Structure 1
Amino acid sequence: MNEETKLEYYIGQFTDGLIGYVPNLIKAVLILLFGLVIIKIIRRVITGIVTKKPEHDPTLLKFILDVATWTLRGFIFVSIIGALGVDTATFAAAIAAAGLAIGLSLQGSLSNFAGGLLIIMFKPFRIGDFIEAQGQMGTVNSIQIFSTKLITPTNQVVYLPNGTLSNNTIKNFSQELLRRADILIGVGYNSNMEQVKNVIFSTIKNTELILQEPAPLIEVRNLGENSVDLMVMIWCERANYGKMVSEFYQNIKAGFDAAGIEIPFPQREINIKNNGNLLQ
């Protein structure tokens, strides 16, 4: 068999094999297209079932959709492999062995998945809540399979691993309707404490966003190096917290100025000696 005959033989073999493989390719493409349609239908059905409830949880819906989507994609992938002529039993055994190895190396990811389930079940926070965790503060944008997405007040995106998040302290600022501000104010030692408290209570009464119930409270907390420190504990509606604190600081400054009450600042007395003589 000369070179030209060999080439024609190999081309013929390749063409016959390709033609024989076309039905498998067509089957695989149809499975892919059909599978994608099925995923869309199932997502719509799940969304319809969950959103029928009067108080449906967007967090739970997002998590269920993610898990269902990735599970169905796995089935579609295996089906396509089978349609292409790969032995699915052998492939499944290889996947199982690889899965074990990957599982051992990705224990953190499995922990994050379990953490996501715990967050969904016990609901320490929901989408839209403002939380502080792992040294980060922000509004919960989404709870994903492995991580939770926060949007910080400066509009940065932070992803917190669900495993670490579910096993550590979470401060949720959105669960309660009311919020208390603890504001430390220092006044001079020569100030009359009764007058100071009267000015503060008058400021509280005249600051519109401060609630009178629960009752505000003023306590002397510390005799500092330069000032007498008072803790002012005042309540407001959760949504008004930042604005209320700002207005209170502005009003208390004006009230102290009008009453002649000093807000002290750190001072130091320095004595300089020259050859043992104190210089004034």
Structure 2
Amino acid sequence: MEGINLQALIDTGMYYLTTYGARIIVALVVFLIGRMIAKTIANFTRKIIMKAHVDETLGMFLRNIIYYVLLAAVVIAALGQAGINVTSFLAVLGAAGLAVGLALKDSLSNFAAGVIIILLKFFKQGDYVTVGGESGVVTAVNIFNTVLTTPDNKVITVPNSAVLGGTITNVTANPTRRVDMIFGIGYSDDVLKAKTILKRILDEDPRVLDDPAPQVEVSELADSSVNFVVRPWCKTADYWGVYFGVTEKVKLIFDQEGISIPFPQQDVYLHPVDSAEQ
């Protein structure tokens, strides 16, 4: 009985070996060669992408997508060579892909936005931006999110869909910026003298650029002050230094020159009431 079972097992093995052996070998060859070709194509594509000066993160991500898509095609081709019906397999794979796509629709939206942000280069690492209602220095532009560091050293992660869906303000995109300031003097003060002092303060600051020329003009006759707009230009990196330095110097020199800087005030008058009227 054991001899009969052994012989039957050997016969069955020989049958499957002669029937499917060649197919399995061909399938393995297709898989190995196909995987090698997929890796070669993916790496070649990445090199082309990097030559276009695309972000490294995006280049690697696209390389991986291409590789795994080609590898999936190779696996399906190998299974077909092995004699396996891949129609049902493709149906299951399609249903699984649809389910995953629905589950990750927000992530896919962030991914698509990240690709657009990296390709169009709205900003780069080190820029100070306002995106998605948040402001800070860009420390990383990832596929799914953008990371900002605020001036007080907080880290904010903004989804790329929120970045692309709103207004993008890149403060440091240009090499120069205009500093907008307003200074007021009293109505009894000498307007021309104050204007001369403001111009001198700007001329003496080495950070203020000559071109474009700074602007000092009377802008408003307000309720309690005559207001000047003071608009010097400077390098973007010097913006806050100019803003704080000029403001401090205006106060010190105005005090030295006897020019007043009005502040809001309210006068309250009390009228006595005759007790007989009560």
* Alpha-carbon displacement from aligned partner over 1:88-135 (angstroms, at most 9, x marks no partner): 875654343233234335433222222112212221111221111222
- Residue number in structure 1 paired with 2:181: 183
Question: 1: distance between equivalents of 2:86 and 2:179?
Answer: 63
Q: 2:168 matched to which residue of 1?
A: 170
Change in Cα spacing, 1:151 to 1:71, as seen in structure 2 (3 Å) is farther
Equivalent residue for 2:203, pick from 205, 212, 215:
205
Aligned-pair identity (%) = 31
- Which residue in 2 is equivalent to 1:141? 139
Q: Distance in 2 between matches of 1:155 and 1:125?
A: 20
1:66 aligns with 61
Counterpart-to-counterpart distance in 2, 1:200 and 1:236:
16
The within-5 A match list for 1:1-280 is: 46=46, 50=50, 57=53, 60-69=55-64, 93-275=91-273
Aligned CA distance change for structure 1 residues 139 and 66 (closer, same or farther; 3 Å): farther
Distance 1:187 1:77, change over 3 A: farther
TM normalised by structure 1 equals 0.70
Kindly indicate whether the alpha-carbon contact (under 8 Å) linking 1:66 and 1:144 is maintained by their aligned counterparts in 2: no
Question: Which residue matches 2:7?
Answer: none
1:166 is paired with a residue whose SS is helix
CA distance in 1, matches of 2:93, 2:271: 83
Q: Do the aligned partners of residues 138 and 47 (structure 1) sit closer, same or farther apart at CA in structure 2, a change above 3 Å counting?
A: farther
State the match for 2:14 in structure 1: none
The CA RMSD over aligned residues, in Å, is 3.4
Alpha-carbon separation, structure 2, partners of 1:78 and 1:272: 91
AA aligned to 2:109 is: S
Instruction: Give the SS at the match of 1:264.
Output: coil
Q: Secondary structure at the match of 2:232?
A: strand
- Please say which structure displays the higher CA radius of gyration: 2
Distance 2:151 2:48 in 1: 33
Separation in structure 2 between the aligned mates of residue 221 and residue 88 of structure 1, nearest angstrom:
77
TM-score by length of 2: 0.70
Q: Post-superposition shift, 1:77? A: 9.8
* Cα drift, residue 274 of structure 1: 3.5
Q: Give the counterpart letter for 2:239 in structure 1.
A: Y
Change (3 A) 1:203 1:97: same
Count of residue pairs the alignment pairs up: 232
| In 2: Cα distance, 1:129 partner to 1:264 partner | 38
Answer whether contact 1:63 1:143 (CA < 8 A) is retained. Answer: no
1:244–1:264 distance in 2 versus 1, CA, 3 Å = same
> What SS is found at the alignment partner of 2:193?
helix
CA gap of 1:88–1:269, structure 2 versus 1, over 3 A, is farther
1:263–1:142 distance in 2 versus 1, CA, 3 Å: same
101 and 176 in structure 1: CA distance in 2 versus 1, 3 angstrom threshold: same
* Equivalent AA in structure 1 for residue 141 of structure 2: I
Q: In 1, distance between residues paired with 2:228 and 2:119? A: 42
SS at match of 1:186: strand
Whether the aligned pair in 1 keeps the contact of 2:124 and 2:138 (CA below 8 Å) is yes
Could you tell me which runs of 5 or more consecutive residues in structure 1 were left unpaired when the two chains were aligned. Answer: 1-34
Conservation of the 8 A alpha-carbon contact between 2:57 and 2:143: no
Change (3 A) 1:272 1:263: same
Work out whether residues 46 and 62 of structure 2, in 8 Å CA contact, stay in contact via their aligned partners in 1.
Answer: no
CA distance in 1, matches of 2:170, 2:263: 35
